Amino acid sequence: MDLPPVGLGTMGVDDPHVVETALDVGYRHLDTAQIYENERVVGEGLASSDVARDEVTLATKLWIDNLAPEAVESGTQASLDRLGVEAVELLYVHRPRGGYDPAGTMRALDTVREQDLTTHLAVSNFTPAQYETAQAHCETPIVANQVEFHPLFQQQDLLDHAREHDYTIVAYSPLAGGEVFDIPEVQSVAEKHDTSPAAVAIAWALSYDNVVTIPKASSRAHLAANLAAADLSLDPEDVRLIEGIDREVELFPE
């Protein structure tokens, strides 16, 4: 799936105007989830925008209470109703927990795909082994794995697995919850390129050919800055410096 390099993460977004502004700035990938409790907000922002629906990749995620095989279709339809759309481009299993049963859940998602309620299937917070198990029970290609990925939580093994199996890593929390502003290595690269640590963190994630990212922002200025970070090219030594950070912080552990 050809996803834009930078999309909008909407966890915590409660104002449709933020979504409308993001689309006006140039975003074409909107990411929400049932557990965010803002699908209606995202849908309202999309509906209010002048951007055509077919120009936008809209993604949502089934929460763990809608992953039992018999709940997948109704859970998906509930999301579509809240979003105000007939289908989404990308439908995720949010976490492999709760009612998730690899065989039953993935077969049910195949059916959802066959019914054209989504164009593509994906998973989120899956290990390489969990991805392989899910794909073994799913006829539809699993095109993405959305995971926490930033300078303090790099998951290089997952990057390698994604390349090997030809799927995209969708990196959430690329700014490490704001901690990138206090990382000396990121600060150093930002000073070198006369830019912000936020831009460096986004550009670092995008330096990997199988990674896109979905930072959250609310103001027009921050939305535009995050989108523009896709144009920042880091030098190989910049990437290696950040890869060598000897500290790990996982913001959203299982």
- Count of C-beta atoms within a 10 Å radius of residue 4: 17
DSSP H/E element including 90: strand 88-93
The fold of the 8-177+211-218 domain, in CATH, is: TIM Barrel (3.20.20)
- Cβ distance 170 to 212 under 8 Å? yes
Rounded Cα gap, residues 252 and 254, in angstroms: 7
pLDDT at site 19 = 98
Q: Which residues of 104-127 are buried (b: 16+ CB within 10 A; e: fewer)?
A: bbbebbbebbeeebbbbbbbbbbb
pLDDT at site 207 = 98
Active-site positions? 36
Query: Strand, coil or helix: what is 240?
Result: helix
- For 149-162, the pLDDT digits (tens) are 999 999 999 999 99
Rounded Cα gap, residues 227 and 27, in angstroms: 7
Query: Strand, coil or helix: what is 185?
Result: helix
CA distances from 148 to 86, 99, 102, 237, 250 (A): 29, 22, 22, 23, 8
pLDDT at site 123 = 98
pLDDT at site 254 = 79
CA distances from 171 to 31, 68, 120, 155 (A): 11, 26, 18, 10
Rounded Cα gap, residues 123 and 147, in angstroms: 9
- Only one residue has tokens 């392989």, namely 132
Which residue type does 192 have? K
Q: Where are the domains of the chain?
A: 8-177+211-218
pLDDT at site 99 = 97
pLDDT at site 175 = 98
Which residue type does 182 have? D
DSSP secondary structure letter of residue 233? P
Degrees to nearest 5, angle at CA 110 with 71 and 253: 65
- Mean pLDDT in each 10-residue stretch from start to end of the chain (254 residues)? 96 98 98 98 98 98 98 98 98 98 98 98 98 98 98 97 98 97 98 98 97 98 98 98 96 90
Name the pTM for this structure.
0.97
State the alpha helices, DSSP H only, in the chain: 16-25, 39-48, 72-83, 102-114, 128-136, 156-165, 184-193, 197-206, 220-228, 236-243
- Cβ distance 188 to 181 under 8 Å? no
pLDDT at site 222 = 98
State how beta strands 118-124 and 57-62 pair: unpaired
